[in-house]
Amino acid sequence: MLSIRLARKGAKKRPFYHIVVSENDRIPTGQALEIIGFLNPIAGSGETLRIDADKAKSWLAKGARPSKTVVDLFKKNAIL
């Protein structure tokens, strides 16, 4: 089963997340099938969130299930 979730990248106390499509049995920081966006929660005036809506919709149509946090991000960007 596929899931859309956040994979943490970045240094200690400097979080940066990729929004990835991966299999449920893989670890969150492991290899992903595709990276569809990013979240940078500590960006000052820069871009904090970018999601490729076309890719996200295609993965949702294929049966990928988003995590609770990703559902909130999708609603913020009017993808869901």
**pLDDT tens per residue across span 6-33:** 999 989 999 999 999 999 887 766 788 9
Q: Which of 34, 26, 3 is nearest to 18 (CA)?
A: 34
CA 42 – CA 67 distance, rounded (Å): 21
Which parts of 26-75 are beta strand (E)?
34-39, 49-51, 65-66
Query: Can you give the CATH number for the domain in which 27 is found?
Result: 3.30.1320.10
**Tally of domains in the chain:** 1
Q: What is the model's pLDDT at position 54?
A: 94
The answer to whether 52 and 36 are in contact (CB under 8 A) is: yes
What is the residue range of 42's domain? Answer: 2-76
**pLDDT tens per residue across span 51-77:** 999 999 999 999 999 999 999 999 988
What pTM did the predictor assign? Answer: 0.87
